[in-house]
């Protein structure tokens, strides 16, 4: 299915890039479909073939008062620069979150963000997370994930209230086992293939930290 999908995508790109067929080799990815989020949207490839559009592959080395200087040494005057920066999936909190013994979430997730079923993490009592690490979907309706996550959190809070529990937090072993499960699951999927993806925090071969492992 994966091989067949690639063939279909390439043929579709050939058709849509017919006005500038030389772009095909530059735009067809080396990695399989869905290793990164599927693009482009309707009209994108057609726009690249417009006679008023130039596709420049050289990296931007410098921006000055009137334009950009690319790695090939050329200066190109521009009126506007639009930056598509992508997603930040480092999971670094924007404000201090402290757990037991003064441990901050930033320090706790310094090497890799780890959770128990994406909803909570060890050493942070009564701390629940919506759309945290390993919570997103590679495809499908994200609202379902949000709703199920909130349902789970609600059941935890009900138990805390009903049983007069002071704090609730997963054991380190439970978090570790979920991390291992994620790694083993994604190793068998296209998401684990070699491509620089926001699923992996912008790395080629890092851990898949943005997606839920399974259905």
Residue 24 lies in a domain: yes
Residue 40 lies in a domain: yes
User: Structurally, how many domains does the chain consist of?
Assistant: 3
Q: Looking at the structure, tell me whether residues 17 and 61 fall in a common domain.
A: no
pTM: 0.83
pLDDT at position 165: 98
Q: What element of type H or E holds 5?
A: helix 2-16
Q: Looking at the structure, tell me whether residues 18 and 71 fall in a common domain.
A: no
Over the stretch 112-126, which tens digit does the pLDDT of each residue have?
899 999 999 999 999
The answer to whether the beta carbons of residues 59 and 71 sit under 8 Å apart is yes
Q: Looking at the structure, tell me whether residues 44 and 61 fall in a common domain.
A: no
* Gap between the Cα atoms of 36 and 49, Å rounded: 23
Residue 95 lies in a domain: no
Range of the domain at 70: 55-84
- Structure tokens, 57: 């592959």
pLDDT at position 202: 86
Over the stretch 36-60, which tens digit does the pLDDT of each residue have?
888 767 899 999 999 999 999 899 9
Confidence of residue 85 (pLDDT cuts 50, 70, 90): confident
Q: Looking at the structure, tell me whether residues 22 and 49 fall in a common domain.
A: yes
Q: Looking at the structure, tell me whether residues 173 and 195 fall in a common domain.
A: yes
Over the stretch 131-168, which tens digit does the pLDDT of each residue have?
999 999 888 889 999 999 999 999 999 999 999 999 99
Q: Looking at the structure, tell me whether residues 40 and 123 fall in a common domain.
A: no
pLDDT at position 40: 67
- Structure tokens, 56: 């420049």
- Structure tokens, 73: 């040494």
């Amino acid at each position: 299915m994966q091989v067949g999908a690639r063939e279909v995508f390439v043929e579709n790109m050939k058709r849509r890039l017919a006005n500038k067929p030389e772009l095909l080799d530059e735009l067809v990815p080396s990695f399989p479909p869905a290793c990164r989020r599927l693009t482009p949207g309707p009209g994108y490839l057609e726009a690249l073939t417009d006679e008023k559009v130039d596709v420049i592959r050289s990296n931007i080395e410098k921006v000055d008062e009137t334009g950009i200087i690319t790695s090939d040494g050329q200066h190109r005057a521009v009126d506007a620069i639009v930056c598509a920066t992508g997603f930040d999936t480092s999971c670094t909190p924007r404000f201090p979150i402290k757990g037991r013994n003064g441990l901050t979430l930033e320090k706790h997730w310094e090497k890799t963000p780890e959770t128990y079923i994406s909803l909570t993490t060890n050493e942070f009592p009564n701390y629940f997370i919506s759309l945290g690490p390993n919570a997103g979907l590679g495809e499908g309706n994200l609202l379902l994930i949000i709703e199920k996550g909130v349902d789970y959190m609600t059941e935890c809070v009900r138990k805390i209230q009903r049983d007069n529990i002071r704090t609730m937090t997963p054991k380190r072993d439970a978090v570790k086992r979920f991390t291992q499960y994620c790694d083993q699951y994604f190793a068998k999927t296209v998401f684990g293939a070699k491509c620089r993806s926001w699923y992996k925090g912008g790395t080629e071969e890092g851990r898949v930290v943005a997606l839920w492992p399974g259905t």
